[in-house]
Chains A and B, each alone.
Chain A
Amino acid sequence: MTTAHINTATHLGDSPVVIDIQGLNKWYGQFHVLKEINLQIRQQEKVVICGPSGSGKSTLIRTINRLEEHQEGRIVVDDEPLTNDVKQIERVRREVGMVFQQFNLFPHMTILDNVISGPIHVRNMPRKQAVDLAHSYLKRVGIAEQANKYPGQLSGGQQQRVAIARALAMQPKIMLFDEPTSALDPEMIKEVLDVMRELAEQGMTMICVTHEMGFAREVADTMVFMDKGQIVEYAPVKEFFTAPKEERSRMFLEQILNH
């Protein structure tokens, strides 16, 4: 099951592969965190990665924008292979937006300044144009009125939506979500998932690490189940939830759905 997968999401059969991971291995010191990962993600595909904690889900998506280095294997994102070349890494990061569990907004900047920081400092966009762009994204995530506040004055759910707007303002081709709702109070999870749902409908290529199985069932094309650093199951979303092939994924689903 660690060999190359056939993409089973039929409506995406012809889309170009935008992320190609081949034979990826990663170690933290002596600890083998990612083992022989092969994964292809097509344009507009929505992939949800799940699995028990410590299974390497976050590490995997963090290798896609090189927040984590890998020691073996090949990762090609949007036709750029990830090597130690800093300029190349920066090019990849410009096209790959990321949303973190802890939001990681810049606390010394207003919401607006957070959102325009990418376009201005990375894309060298004129300020006025960046501000217009930022306002349109803030409106899209539903916090246009808060533009002049500081992150500390917003609720967790609002902060996470700003973080999504900040990533989107770079107009990326791919979005990575690293447990975007895990640090939120229950009543705020929905507002963030709604924004992500809308983004999915508009055709963004998305990779989410999440435990929100309802969201996954509704939005994902493909499910990836990881355990102990390996991809244990890779399946179209329907198949994964109705007839998981692997014993370990079945057990995981039982635990997470019947709590």
Chain B
Amino acid sequence: MSEYTPSQNIPDRQPPATSVGIIGWVCKNLLCPWYNAVLTIVSCWAIWSAVAPFWEWAVTNASISLDPEVAKQHTGAAWGFIRDMWPVFMTGVYPAEERWRPLIALCIVVVLVSLSLVASYRRSRWLKILWFVSPIVVFALVYGGGITGLPVVGTHYWGGLMLTIMLSIVAMLAAFPISVLLALGRTSDMPIAKPFCVAYIELIRGVPLITLLFMASVVLPLFLPAGMELDKVLRALVGITMFFSAYLAENIRGGLQGISKGQYEAADALGMSYWKKTIVVILPQALRIVIPPMVNNFIGILKDTSLVGIVGLVDLLQIAFATTSNPKWFGRLEEAYVFIAFWYWILCYALSSYSQYLERKMPSASK
């Protein structure tokens, strides 16, 4: 006979010590069962053997002296090269006595970004106006001339990290609205707009960015009326923007297709016009879905601006080449590459973090 007594009022107990806390975590993730312990040891060894030589080069054996002769006595990195040349990395051949101008422009942008991150300021109209005016102010500061009374520094003097950032930001801002229109066109059933959008996207996507950059800088001037000359930076921008708007459009189209038919019908049933429906109901949801691939694209833009070296612009990557052929620090390629890689990484990681923040902040499009 079974002796089952229905028990009542069992008090809560702590879970067993091996399943919680640090001990529980280490045991579960690192040591148990035995093959996890082996994997842990192998992984630690692999990480160590990769990091140790780099550590020796970058820290233990490195020198930070500004004197190249001192640096040569060390087997490791010569960070003095970066100390010596970093203004050139930042602004390229921008005249040294005018470097304060891009610096102030940078400060303006940093202040604006910081203000925007304060939640209570974000909705204020002043901040929006400031954002709207800031590109003009930044351009006026960096380019000079006109009412600013500053000496003109033409775009052929722009370079380094400054040029990389400017190219990427302007290309992102320009490519985004174009790509939204392309995606809407491609998902519509308008008789002329749709084939045009499909053709544009398929054509541009099927061509390497380098080709487009060449086209923009070599072929485009042939079509312009005689005597009219497009700025070199502007031409590169046109190429990058054209290229990325096609890619971005396909991502956004993916988002548009993720919106259920019911959403369109609900907006229709309220009597919303096409644009109201698109702007109020469809796009906010579609763009929320495509934040990860869109940021992926933005990161792509940022890094692919390094191709503008091909058409004679001196961006961050080209600066690395240029500074290492300087006789004083000749051949310090590793330091230069590590330094610019660090900057690309900082920028890309910032973009990525911001996108993750956006994803958390915006209510999910799914139910």
B270 touches A152 (CB 8 A): no
Bound-complex Cα distance A107 to B366 (A): 7
Interface-located stretch among A76-84, A115-123, A248-256: A115-123
B265 touches A (CB below 8 Å): yes
B285: which of A67, A108, A150 is its contact (CB, 8 Å)? A108
What is B's interface to A at a CB cutoff of 8 Å?
A: 260, 262-263, 265-273, 276, 280-281, 284-285, 288, 362-367
Residues A108 and B273 in contact in the complex (CB < 8 Å), given A93-B268, A102-B262, A117-B280: no
Bound-complex Cα distance A122 to B280 (A): 11
Bound-complex Cα distance A90 to B275 (A): 13
B281: which of A65, A67, A106, A167 is its contact (CB, 8 Å)? A106
A192 touches B (CB below 8 Å): no
6 pairs from A and B in contact (CB 8 Å cutoff): A65-B269, A94-B270, A100-B265, A106-B266, A107-B367, A108-B362
Residues A108 and B365 in contact in the complex (CB < 8 Å), given A100-B262, A121-B276: yes
Bound-complex Cα distance A20 to B268 (A): 21
Give the shortest distance, in Å, between B193 (CB) and chain A (any CB). 16
Please indicate the chain A residues that have their CB under 8 angstroms from the CB of B285 in the complex. Answer: 106-108
A98 touches B (CB below 8 Å): yes
A104 touches B (CB below 8 Å): yes
Give the shortest distance, in Å, between B208 (CB) and chain A (any CB). 37
A90: which of B263, B273, B284, B366 is its contact (CB, 8 Å)? B273
Give the shortest distance, in Å, between B349 (CB) and chain A (any CB). 27
A236 touches B (CB below 8 Å): no
Give the shortest distance, in Å, between A111 (CB) and chain B (any CB). 12
Residues A152 and B276 in contact in the complex (CB < 8 Å), given A98-B269, A100-B262, A118-B270: no
**What mask results when residues 36 to 67 of chain A are scored 1 for a CB within 8 Å of chain B, else 0?**
00000000000000000000000000000101
Give the shortest distance, in Å, between A92 (CB) and chain B (any CB). 8
Bound-complex Cα distance A192 to B273 (A): 29
Bound-complex Cα distance A97 to B362 (A): 29
Bound-complex Cα distance A145 to B268 (A): 28
B364 touches A107 (CB 8 A): yes
Closest Cβ neighbor of B284 among chain A residues: A108
B265 touches A67 (CB 8 A): yes
B269: which of A86, A97, A107 is its contact (CB, 8 Å)? A97
A138 touches B (CB below 8 Å): no
- Closest 8 interchain pairs by CB? A93-B271, A104-B266, A104-B262, A94-B271, A98-B269, A118-B270, A122-B271, A90-B271
Give the shortest distance, in Å, between A49 (CB) and chain B (any CB). 17
Please indicate the chain B residues that have their CB under 8 angstroms from the CB of A122 in the complex. Answer: 270-272, 276
Closest Cβ neighbor of B279 among chain A residues: A121
Bound-complex Cα distance A57 to B170 (A): 53
What is A's interface to B at a CB cutoff of 8 Å?
A: 65, 67, 86, 90-94, 96-98, 100, 102, 104-108, 117-118, 121-122, 150-152, 166-167, 170
A67 touches B271 (CB 8 A): no
A93 touches B367 (CB 8 A): no
B284 touches A121 (CB 8 A): no
User: Can you add 4 more A-B contacts, CB < 8 Å, to A97-B269, A104-B265, A150-B363?
Assistant: A93-B270, A107-B365, A117-B281, A118-B272
Give the shortest distance, in Å, between A19 (CB) and chain B (any CB). 15
B269 touches A121 (CB 8 A): no
Bound-complex Cα distance A94 to B276 (A): 14
Please indicate the chain B residues that have their CB under 8 angstroms from the CB of A108 in the complex. Answer: 284-285, 288, 362-363, 365
Please indicate the chain A residues that have their CB under 8 angstroms from the CB of B269 in the complex. Answer: 65, 67, 93, 96-98, 100, 167
Bound-complex Cα distance A54 to B272 (A): 29
A105 touches B272 (CB 8 A): no
Please indicate the chain B residues that have their CB under 8 angstroms from the CB of A121 in the complex. Answer: 270, 272, 276, 280
Please indicate the chain A residues that have their CB under 8 angstroms from the CB of B273 in the complex. Answer: 86, 90
B266 touches A105 (CB 8 A): yes
Give the shortest distance, in Å, between A155 (CB) and chain B (any CB). 12
Bound-complex Cα distance A65 to B271 (A): 9
A67 touches B262 (CB 8 A): no
Closest Cβ neighbor of A95 among chain B residues: B271
Give the shortest distance, in Å, between A164 (CB) and chain B (any CB). 12
Please indicate the chain B residues that have their CB under 8 angstroms from the CB of A117 in the complex. Answer: 270, 280-281
Please indicate the chain A residues that have their CB under 8 angstroms from the CB of B260 in the complex. Answer: 104
A67 touches B268 (CB 8 A): yes
Bound-complex Cα distance A107 to B364 (A): 8
A170 touches B271 (CB 8 A): yes
Bound-complex Cα distance A96 to B367 (A): 26
Bound-complex Cα distance A151 to B265 (A): 17
Please indicate the chain B residues that have their CB under 8 angstroms from the CB of A91 in the complex. Answer: 271
A107: which of B265, B268, B272, B363 is its contact (CB, 8 Å)? B363
Bound-complex Cα distance A102 to B367 (A): 11
Closest Cβ neighbor of B262 among chain A residues: A104
Give the shortest distance, in Å, between B360 (CB) and chain A (any CB). 14
Bound-complex Cα distance A75 to B50 (A): 75
Give the shortest distance, in Å, between A121 (CB) and chain B (any CB). 5
Closest Cβ neighbor of B285 among chain A residues: A108
Give the shortest distance, in Å, between B279 (CB) and chain A (any CB). 9
Closest Cβ neighbor of A106 among chain B residues: B281
Bound-complex Cα distance A96 to B260 (A): 22
Closest Cβ neighbor of A67 among chain B residues: B265
Please indicate the chain B residues that have their CB under 8 angstroms from the CB of A100 in the complex. Answer: 262, 265-266, 269
B367: which of A97, A98, A152, A166 is its contact (CB, 8 Å)? A152
Please indicate the chain A residues that have their CB under 8 angstroms from the CB of B271 in the complex. Answer: 90-94, 118, 122, 170
